Amino acid sequence: MGTVAIGAPVNLRSDNVAGIAPEILAAIEAANAGSAPSYGADPITARLQDTFSELFETRCFVQPVATGTATNALALALIAPPYGAVYCSDVGHVHDSECGAGEFYTGGAKIVPLPAAHGRLHPETLRAALRKAGIGHTGRVQPAALNLTQATERGTVYQLDELDALVEVAREYGLRVHLDGARFANAIAALGRAPADLTWRRGVDVLSFGATKNGAMGAEAVVVFGEELAEPLRFRARRAGQVFSKMRFISAQLEAYVKDGLWLRLAANANAMAGRLAAGLRELPGIHLSHPVEINEIFATMPQRVIDGLLAAGFGLYDRGGGEVRLVTAFNNTQEQIDAFVAAARRLASVI
């Protein structure tokens, strides 16, 4: 699959180093026929509302936007007032990887990171924070929203009962819930559950629906479950410069992405490649996986000479410092690529 030359060392630095899946590129090309109304008034965008409502088994509203950062920031702005607090894990993308987009879009809400193991926030950690939050005390920002990432930034997933427990705490304190689904497809593929089961049936109010990391060119969507959030979303998105004039080309990507289960096949491949990679690395001397490998991300510690050797050999990886790397497999990685990576790591790790 894809256009990667045989033999070229695979780039596992991130899944967003991969290109566009053929089906999605074809959809862009097909959407180029004729003229179409702009700013989302085109037929493809209109169809997308129905497609997603069917996919999620409930009426929902979909706003296609440019980037994952935009989806998250828009989502938070819908559910947290400027004087609100947004709780997330201490590795939450909204906290430390988006240059303060959440603060910008919300008008200055406070994003509160909480300690999390393997990227997963624990309900009691959330409850403890909320107990000390000073609810009603005007000196304190007021708890407004819970941000969860599914799959997490550490390559793990929340099980359904874990989500239930978190949302129960959130509801107890009146928080609304945002799910950052930058790798939502990988989570779905890993858990084998319907999108609805991981979102509104669990109490999620708004979803960042990612597609770019899993084969789109540049297409993400904010999905809101609940009519009253749709209008603010439309205006906030426009005001943020996130409404494409030629929206059809973004919507076409999203349409192709979910059509006939493409998104899940792509995610399943990425997940399987990570599993294969993890199995290979796990056996190597001096290499230890930092977290359970549940989707397409691997964090591993290894001797620096192995890291340097892999980079020197042309493999792509994210050197996090301190002997830890992140490896992310993509929709179009192949077994051959993964096996070549493991083989190279084995050679480097075996040298004494």
- Which parts of 79-108 interact with a copy of itself (CB under 8 A)? 81-83, 96-101, 103-108
Token pair of 107, please? 């008008």
CA distance 293 to 312: 26
* C-beta of 141 vs 157, nearer to a copy of itself: 141
Query: Nearest-CA neighbor of 92 among 14, 152, 177, 48?
Result: 152
Binding letters toward a copy of itself, positions 146-185, x by CB under 8 A = ----------------------------------------
Q: For residue 346, give the amino acid letter.
A: R
Nearer to a copy of itself, 21 or 302 (CB): 21
Contact 181, 148 (CB under 8 A): no
Q: CB atoms < 10 A from the CB of 322, how many?
A: 7
Q: How far is the CB of 135 from a copy of itself (least distance, A)?
A: 11
State yes or no: residue 14 binds a copy of itself (CB under 8 A): yes
Q: Is residue 253 close enough to count as binding a copy of itself by CB under 8 A?
A: no
Residue 110: closest CA among 171, 164, 134:
134
Size of the site for a copy of itself (CB under 8 A): 80
CB 250 within 8 A of CB 217: no
Candidates 27, 31, 223, 298; binder of a copy of itself (CB under 8 A) is 31
Q: Should residue 192 be labelled a site residue for a copy of itself when binding is judged by CB under 8 A?
A: no
341 touches a copy of itself (CB under 8 A): no
CB 306 within 8 A of CB 280: no
Task: Give me the least distance between CB of 293 and a copy of itself, in Å please.
Answer: 21
Q: Within its chain, how far is the Cα of 224 from the centroid?
A: 16
In whole angstroms, how close is the CB of 239 to a copy of itself at the nearest point?
A: 4
Q: Are 55 and 250 in contact (CB under 8 A)?
A: no
Q: Does 352 bind a copy of itself (CB under 8 A)?
A: no
The conformation of residue 221, written as its DSSP 8-state character, comes to E
- Chain centroid, CA 36 distance in Å: 30
**111 binds a copy of itself, rule: CB under 8 A:** yes
Q: How do beta strands 176-181 and 142-149 pair?
A: parallel
Backbone angles phi, psi at 149, to 5 degrees: -110, 125
Give residues 296-335 in contact with a copy of itself (rule: CB under 8 A).
Answer: 316, 330
Q: Does 138 bind a copy of itself (CB under 8 A)?
A: yes
Q: Are 10 and 316 in contact (CB under 8 A)?
A: yes
338 binds a copy of itself (CB under 8 A): no
User: In sequence order, what are the residues at sequence separation of 6 or more whose Cβ sits closer than 8 angstroms to the Cβ of residue 133?
Assistant: 85, 140, 142, 143, 173
Among 28, 163, 188, 262, binds a copy of itself (CB under 8 A): 28
Q: Are 310 and 317 in contact (CB under 8 A)?
A: yes
Q: Which 194-213 residues touch a copy of itself, going by CB under 8 A?
A: 212-213
Q: How far is the CB of 164 from a copy of itself (least distance, A)?
A: 29
CB nearer a copy of itself, residue 69 or residue 149: 69
Closest approach of a copy of itself to the CB of residue 210, in Å: 10
Residues in 211-250 at the binding interface with a copy of itself, rule: CB under 8 A: 212-213, 217-218, 232, 234-246, 249-250
In the chain, what is the straight-line distance between the N-terminal and C-terminal CA atoms, in Å?
A: 37
Nearest approach in angstroms of CB 51 to a copy of itself is 21
Please report whether residue 69 would count as binding a copy of itself according to CB under 8 A.
yes
Asked if 19 is part of the footprint of a copy of itself (rule: CB under 8 A), the reply reads yes
